C-alpha cells in the first residue's frame, strides 16, 4: 500500500568520503557538473538523482513577498516556454505572483532581501525549484539558504539540510531546447531539503552577499506531503472499483507506529483525481491490529477514477495542519484499454 514519495530513475549515491575532495559527475545529456564543498548546500550524504522529481505529492507554496510591507520580489522574469526552457530569460510575469508555480516565471531574491512562502500546510521537507539562466552548475541551481517558521515574518529554525538533488528538475530533458548547447535548461536542478521541525512558512535567502550566487531565481517552493498508509476497500484484494456504477468506495487511513490516523481532519480529506470529498467517516479498528483507524466513504463517480487506472490517492490535513498523502492499488471494472 505504501508508495514511494519521490520518483527515482537512476540514483548515484554520494559517498561521505567525497567531502574531502572535489568531485565531478556526468549525466548524459548534461555536461559535467561539480558537487563538492564549493557548491552551496553541499552535503556529502545527499543523493544525486539523474532524473526528474515526482511532483504529484507536492503542495506548491504561495510567494508572499520579502516583508509584511513589501509583497513584491526585488526582481522577476520568465525562463519558461517563452525562451524555449533554455537557460536564458526575458522580462515577464509579476513581482508578486511569480515564484508560485512550475511555469518558469521566477521571483528573484537578491541579497539582502529574503523571500517568504506560505506552503498552506505544515511539513518537515520542502522542494526548491530554481530557474537557471547561467552557470556554474550545480551551484547556480542551489544558491540559497532555506529556513522555516510557524509564524509569518517571525523567528525561524535552523538552516535546512539538502538530502536529494534531481539533475533534470521537474521536466524531462529535451535536447532541442538546449539551444546554446551547454547541456542545461532553465527547468533543471530541483532539491529536497530537510527542515529541523514541522513548519508552514519558508524563508529563502541568497547563498552569498556578493558574487554570482547572491540572486536566486525561484520558480517555486513546495511542501512534501507526509506519506500515510491507506487501504481502499478494506478487506478486499484486488481493490476492484466499477467506474460505471453508482455507489460509494470506502477508504481507510491506517494508524501505524509512525502515524496516528485519528489526528486527520476528515473534512480536509479528498480522494481520487477529481478530489472527491467524503460522504461520511468513522473511527474504528479497520485492520484489526488493536489501534483506531479512520474509515471514509466517497461517491465513486465523484472520484474521477477512470477505467484502466492502477492506483488512487488520498490527500488531506491533520488537525495541526500537516499535509498527508496516501495511495493504494486499484483494479477498475471495466479494465480499460
Q: Which of residues 224, 243, 265 is at a domain's end? A: 224
Domain of 148 in residue numbering reads as: 11-224
Q: Which of residues 189, 224, 259 is at a domain's end? A: 224
Task: Tell me, yes or no, whether 56 and 203 share the same domain.
Answer: yes
Question: What cell was used for 296?
Answer: 471514509
Task: Tell me, yes or no, whether 53 and 156 share the same domain.
Answer: yes
Q: How far apart are CA 50 and CA 165, in angstroms?
A: 8
Task: Tell me, yes or no, whether 215 and 242 share the same domain.
Answer: no
- Residue 19 covered by a domain: yes
Task: Tell me, yes or no, whether 92 and 217 share the same domain.
Answer: yes
* Pair 24, 34: CB distance under 8 Å: yes
So what's the pLDDT on residue 17?
Answer: 30
Task: Tell me, yes or no, whether 105 and 50 share the same domain.
Answer: yes
Task: Tell me, yes or no, whether 126 and 18 share the same domain.
Answer: yes
Q: How far apart are CA 229 and CA 113, in angstroms?
A: 41
Task: Tell me, yes or no, whether 279 and 208 share the same domain.
Answer: no
Q: How far apart are CA 201 and CA 123, in angstroms?
A: 9
What is the length of the chain? 337
- Residue 4 covered by a domain: no
So what's the pLDDT on residue 31?
Answer: 65
Task: Reduce the DSSP state of residue 136 to 3 states and report it.
Answer: coil
Looking up cell 479512520, which residue turns up?
294
Mean pLDDT in each 10-residue stretch from start to end of the chain (337 residues)? Answer: 37 31 40 89 95 92 98 97 92 96 97 98 97 88 97 98 95 87 90 97 96 95 97 94 93 97 98 97 97 98 96 96 96 87
Rg (CA), the chain: 21
So what's the pLDDT on residue 182?
Answer: 83
Q: How far apart are CA 213 and CA 207, in angstroms?
A: 6
| Model confidence, pTM | 0.85
Q: How far apart are CA 255 and CA 252, in angstroms?
A: 9
Q: How far apart are CA 64 and CA 56, in angstroms?
A: 23
So what's the pLDDT on residue 36?
Answer: 96
So what's the pLDDT on residue 276?
Answer: 97
Q: Based on the structure, what is the number of domains in the chain?
A: 2
So what's the pLDDT on residue 30?
Answer: 53
Task: Tell me, yes or no, whether 74 and 220 share the same domain.
Answer: yes
Amino acid at each position: 500500500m505504501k508508495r514511494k514519495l519521490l520518483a527515482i530513475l537512476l540514483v548515484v549515491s554520494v559517498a561521505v568520503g567525497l567531502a574531502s575532495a572535489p568531485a565531478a559527475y556526468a549525466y548524459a545529456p548534461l555536461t559535467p557538473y561539480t558537487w563538492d564543498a564549493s557548491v552551496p548546500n553541499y552535503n556529502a550524504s545527499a543523493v544525486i538523482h539523474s532524473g526528474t522529481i515526482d511532483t504529484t505529492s507536492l503542495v506548491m507554496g504561495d510567494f508572499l513577498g520579502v516583508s509584511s510591507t513589501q509583497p513584491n520580489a526585488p526582481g522577476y522574469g520568465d525562463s519558461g516556454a517563452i525562451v524555449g526552457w533554455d537557460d536564458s530569460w526575458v522580462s515577464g510575469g509579476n513581482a508578486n505572483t511569480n515564484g508560485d508555480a512550475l511555469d518558469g516565471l521566477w521571483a528573484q531574491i537578491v541579497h539582502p532581501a529574503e523571500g517568504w512562502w506560505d506552503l498552506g500546510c505544515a511539513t518537515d521537507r520542502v522542494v526548491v525549484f530554481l530557474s537557471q539562466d547561467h552557470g556554474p552548475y550545480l551551484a547556480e541551481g542551489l544558491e540559497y539558504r532555506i529556513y522555516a517558521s510557524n509564524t509569518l515574518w517571525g523567528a525561524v529554525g535552523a538552516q535546512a539540510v539538502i538530502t536529494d538533488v534531481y539533475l533534470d528538475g521537474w521536466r524531462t530533458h529535451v535536447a532541442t531546447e538546449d539551444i546554446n548547447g551547454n547541456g542545461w535548461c532553465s527547468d533543471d536542478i530541483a532539491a529536497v531539503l530537510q527542515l529541523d521541525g514541522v513548519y508552514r512558512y519558508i524563508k529563502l535567502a541568497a547563498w552569498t552577499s556578493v558574487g554570482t550566487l547572491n540572486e536566486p531565481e525561484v520558480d517555486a517552493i513546495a511542501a512534501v506531503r507526509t506519506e500515510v498508509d491507506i487501504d481502499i476497500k478494506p478487506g478486499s484484494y484486488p481493490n476492484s472499483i466499477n467506474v460505471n456504477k453508482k455507489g460509494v468506495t470506502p477508504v481507510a487511513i491506517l494508524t501505524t507506529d509512525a502515524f496516528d490516523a485519528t489526528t486527520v481532519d476528515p473534512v480536509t480529506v479528498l480522494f481520487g483525481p477529481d478530489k472527491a470529498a467524503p460522504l461520511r467517516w468513522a473511527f474504528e479498528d479497520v485492520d484489526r491490529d488493536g489501534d483506531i483507524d479512520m474509515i471514509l466513504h466517497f461517491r465513486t463517480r465523484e472520484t474521477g477514477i477512470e477505467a484502466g487506472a492502477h492506483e488512487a490517492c488520498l490527500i488531506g490535513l491533520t488537525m495541526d495542519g500537516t499535509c498527508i498523502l496516501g495511495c493504494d492499488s486499484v483494479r477498475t471494472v471495466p479494465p480499460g484499454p
